[in-house]
Amino acid sequence: MASSCSQALRHHVCKSSRLLRVHLQKSWTNRSFEGAVCVSSSFALNSAADQQPAVSSPEEIVIPKKKTWSKEAVLQALASTVKRDPTASDYRFQDDPYLTPKTSSEFKLFSLSQESGRNAAKYFINTYPKYFQKDYAQPHIPCLMPDTLEAQIEEVSEAALIERIGMRKVKAAVDLYDQLLQAGTSVSLDVTNQLLDLICFYGDHDPAQENVPEQRNEETEDVQDEPQAKKGRAAKASDLLKATWKEKNNAERIFALLSEPNKHSYSALIRGMVKYGAYSKAFSTYTDLLNSRLKADMHMFNALITAAPEVKEKYNEKWELIVDLLKQMAEQKVRPNLLTLNAVLKALRRCGTVGKSQAFPVISEMKALSIDLSLASYTHLLAIFYKPGAPIQGQTDILQEVMNEVSGKSFTPQDPDDAQFFITAMRICLDTKDMEQAYRVHELLGVGENWRLLGNDFQQNIYYARFFSLLCMMENIDVMLKWYRDLVPSVYYPSSNVMRDLLQALDTDNRLDLIPQIWKDIKQLGHANRQNLVEELLTLMAREKHNQEVQESFAECALDIKKIYDTGDRGKVLLNWTAGSLSDLISVLLAAHRRQDAWDMLKLFKTHNRVPSEELLNKFLMCVKEGGEVNQAVELVQISAGFCLPGTPKLIQRVQQEFELTEQQRKMLSDLEIQSFNSE
């Protein structure tokens, strides 16, 4: 029994080995591998069993190197299989459906509320770390643990100085450095350079502490007693440039105390001066570095190139200074990088026509050094040739060339100005009315993770506002509505101006029947309190007559608008009736044969001290005639006489001729005619 089983097993192994060898021989004939691993020996074990000579393959196999995957690789692979849901809200609000924003104001409010909640939690964790020491996370996640906000080393030592530098406490680090010098303790040059880096980066000020709520004290109470108008004013340039380079600040003082400052010391000082606007002083410090027989580094040159347009007035002089800095880089054997290229292109934006003539040669030189352009490079290039508000003359092909270069590529953040590319490119598309390039720009946004380079919420709104404005101008309404339904409100909350562009697009394509649907979106987006937008919508509905079904939908929309005028938000009236809005709304109701509703609206002219037009009263009289309402016709004449309209006598004549009046009504009209004649 055992021998029969062993023979069967041996026969099965021999048969399997022959089939495997035949399969591999067929597949290897179509492959080409390189390496040093011979596979002929893999079949030597079965040579005795099948009693056939082993076939050695002349080809070899290369064992691939081990692939190292990122921690997010699986999540990224899963995310690539899912497309954006146009009916879903932003990912930030999907955890709480009740707080899903429906308007742009709610989006801002909920976003700020969510971020404020995080900041409040971080504040309590970092303020009272002793209550949050238990670590539940496995493995340990450092970012979820409290940050160390208080210094642990109390003694005056270099270790304490390093600790305060790491905690970004500028004032405390400077004070401790002075204490060390007063105690006669020398501080190493490396630590001093770290202190210079800290001071120059933050402009000799402590950085604004994150997650710290506003605290009320006597000073803040005094400020809050000032007029409230200042809180809502726009930010001025003086508010944005509070941090400037001060004369003889701590950075200059500490730098002067160094007996032999090295390249790092000069680099920190020069970069700080450029960052905070001391451009001339930065070049003076660079001259001191050369006099000390030191060489500059790449970061120092990048900062000086950025500052070059600020120290010269004429375009040629600015460019000559940039060229001189590039030549010095070559002499000092400092290899430029991508940030150098972007600094040159950014400086050329301030060089007028010289910038246009030198932009492409600079790019060619940098490409010869194997420097690939980033989105920031293309942003500066477009800004050189397309100035906001300037006429486009013969430069419309630059954007097309740029899109030919970047189309289909996935970019990663390499420069802070990368986030300016998409809004800059879409601005140019809007200025040049180039719909084809706009589609290419938007298509590039969907490649890979380029959407991350669209910028913050404010920049995102600018991008989509320009895109939709261009769609409204250049595309037919069906294409426009396709984009509208795809992006609103899952990605974009259009402003009232964009909604007005949409109404004008409906008017251009003669699709005013869609106005009631757009009105629902206007209410949902929170723009129902925009006077100009609502009046534009009423004017479009009242301008022409449509079929009865459309007019009925217009009438329902008009009555819904009337509720906005009557109550507003939380009982507060936000819109004011004008003669035009009242006339348009009444015209819409009359076209739908809603005479009683129109009559009720007509009384609002007197309530709100508005004067109806003669055209409206004549239109109203025609509708009254169709209904045969004699009493209403007489009242209409009385309303006209009450406003002392010059067309009252003609209105009286029409009523007398077209209606069967009683003696009392005729006498009343005669008296009104005499009264109107005397008033003239």
Say how far apart CA 198 and CA 271 lie, in whole Å: 12
Q: Give the burial string for 166-175 (b: 16+ CB within 10 Å, else e).
A: ebebbebbbe
**Which tokens sit at 491?**
């990605």
Q: What is the pLDDT of residue 57?
A: 54
Query: What single-letter amino acid sits at 68?
Result: T
Predicted TM-score (pTM) of the model is: 0.78
Q: Rg of the chain over CA atoms, in angstroms?
A: 39
Contacts of 258 (CB under 8 A, 6+ apart): 189, 192, 265
- Report the percent of the chain where pLDDT is more than 70: 83
What is the structure's pLDDT at 12? Answer: 44
Q: What is the pLDDT at residue 210?
A: 56
Specify whether the backbone of 644 is left (phi greater than 0), alpha (psi in -120 to 50) or beta.
left
Between 219-223, 275-279, 313-317, 447-451, the lowest mean confidence (pLDDT) is in 219-223
User: Which comes out higher in pLDDT, residue 264 or 397?
Assistant: 264
3-class DSSP assignment, residue 212: coil
Q: Predicted confidence band at 572 (pLDDT cuts at 50, 70, 90)?
A: low
DSSP label of 295: -
Contact of 174 with 199, CB cutoff 8 Å: yes
Q: Where are the alpha helices (DSSP H) in 433-524?
A: 435-445, 457-474, 477-487, 496-508, 515-524
What confidence category does residue 676 fall into, taking pLDDT thresholds of 50, 70 and 90? low
- Classify residue 593 as left (phi > 0), alpha (psi -120 to 50) or beta: left
pLDDT value for 321: 94
pLDDT tens across 466-494, in order? 999 999 999 999 999 999 999 888 888 89
Q: What is the mean pLDDT of the chain?
A: 81
Which amino acid would we find at residue 107?
Answer: F
Residues 259-305: pLDDT tens digits? 899 999 999 999 999 999 999 999 999 999 999 999 999 999 999 99
The reported pLDDT for the residue numbered 679 is 58
Q: What's residue 34's pLDDT?
A: 37
At 569, give phi and psi (nearest 5°): -100, 120
- Average pLDDT of the segment spanning 382-399: 78
**Stretch 93-101: mean pLDDT, rounded?**
73
CA distances from 448 to 28, 76, 80, 87, 578 (A): 36, 11, 9, 22, 51
pLDDT at 32: 37
pLDDT at 19 over 60: no
For range 27-34, the mean pLDDT: 39
pLDDT at residue 81 is higher than 80: yes
pLDDT reported for residue 148: 65
> Residue range 89-111: average pLDDT?
75
pLDDT of residue 238 exceeding 70: no
Report the DSSP beta bridge partners of residue 61.
37
The length of the chain is 680
Tokens coding 180: 């060390």
pLDDT at 642 (0 to 100) = 80
Q: What per-residue confidence (pLDDT) applies to 53?
A: 45
The Cα 278–Cα 267 span in angstroms is 14
**Looking at residues 150-170, what average pLDDT do you find?**
86
50-59, 281-290, 362-371, 439-448: segment of lowest average pLDDT: 50-59
Q: Determine which of 94-98, 410-414, 502-506, 517-521 has the lowest per-residue pLDDT on average.
A: 94-98
Quickly state the pLDDT bin for 384 (edges 50, 70, 90): very high
Nearest to 276 by CA among 206, 201, 339, 348: 201
In tens, the pLDDT along 596-654 reads: 888 888 888 888 888 888 888 888 888 888 777 778 788 888 888 887 788 778 878 77
Q: pLDDT class for 190, splitting at 50, 70, 90?
A: very high
Tens of pLDDT, residues 309-334: 999 999 999 999 999 999 999 999 99
Joined together, the tokens standing for residue 290 give 């050369």
Nearest CA to 211 among 282, 140, 116?
116
Q: Of 627, 626, 625, 577, give the one whose Cα is nearest residue 602.
A: 577
SS3 call for 53: coil
In this structure, are residues 422 and 463 in contact, taking their beta carbons and an 8 Å threshold? yes
- What's the pLDDT band for 389 if we cut at 50, 70, 90? confident
Backbone angles phi, psi at 294, to 5 degrees: -110, 160
Amino acid 30: pLDDT? 41
Least confident of 19-23, 437-441, 500-504: 19-23
Report the C-alpha gap between 432 and 560 in whole angstroms.
Answer: 39
Alpha carbon distance 175, 177 (integer Å): 5
Q: What pLDDT was estimated at residue 221?
A: 34
Please compute the mean of the pLDDT values over residues 41-54 and round it to a whole number: 40
SS3 336: coil
User: pLDDT-derived band of residue 663, with 50, 70 and 90 as boundaries?
Assistant: confident
